[in-house]
Amino acid sequence: MRSFRWLVLMSAIALVTSCRSQQQQAAAPGGPGPVGTIRDVMHMVIESQAQVIFDSVAVTVTQAGTQEKQPETEEEWDAVLHSALTLAEAANLLMVPGRSVARPEEMNTSADPTELTPAQIQEKIKANPDLWVRHAKDLQDVALRAYKAAADKDVQELWNVGEPIDQACESCHLEFWYPGDKRPAPPQ
């Protein structure tokens, strides 16, 4: 059962990969097309799914002692499996051509002056489409590692993969969202 699911997943990915070169030109009529913005996908899909993986394994040290948390029941393992698959597929959503970074009325808004506005991010993606796809693929690869860890019920690997997932998020954000943070802090 497990290897069958794996196989289906791998062939779905192969299909996506083989279609990608055509998709990058323009979405075919009736073919895949974006619904939400990149901001929506981050906020409503990617963040919550990554959080399930991050929270699945934890070690808390208090005066009362050390508490370890890990998926125990079949349902808990399933929840991690589902989130990892959703996260891996969400990386494909980032690669769907024509997805706007934000809604028109949000294009010139950012929460922080160190962030690029969605309009600036849009320009950056347009100028560096391959780099954008590479970052999305990096996220997909680490999400697949989490998927495999959950399928194998491998607690240590699930713990290990937390850091690379975080890095996949952060390195894309540093490139496209707040590139100013890449500069080293000036000496005090």
Quickly tell me which residue has 């929460």 as its tokens.
111
Rounded-to-5 percentages of helix, strand, coil across the chain: 65, 5, 30
Does position 43 bind ligand HEC by CB under 6 A? yes
**Dist CA 37 CA 85 (whole Å):** 20
Please give the single-letter amino acid code of residue 37.
T
At its nearest, how many Å lie between ligand HEC and the CB of residue 99?
11
Which of 81, 132, 148, 158 is the binder for ligand HEC (CB under 6 A)? Answer: 132
Per CB under 6 A, the segment of 12-20, 23-31, 68-76, 167-175 that binds ligand HEC is 167-175
Q: Both tokens of residue 157?
A: 């690997």
Residue 137 binds ligand HEC, judged by CB under 6 A:
no
End-to-end Cα separation, the chain, in angstroms: 58
Is residue 147 a contact residue for ligand HEC (CB under 6 A)? no
- Binding interface with ligand HEC (CB under 6 A): 38-39, 42-43, 46-47, 50, 94, 101-102, 118, 121, 132, 135-136, 139, 165, 168-169, 172-173, 176-177
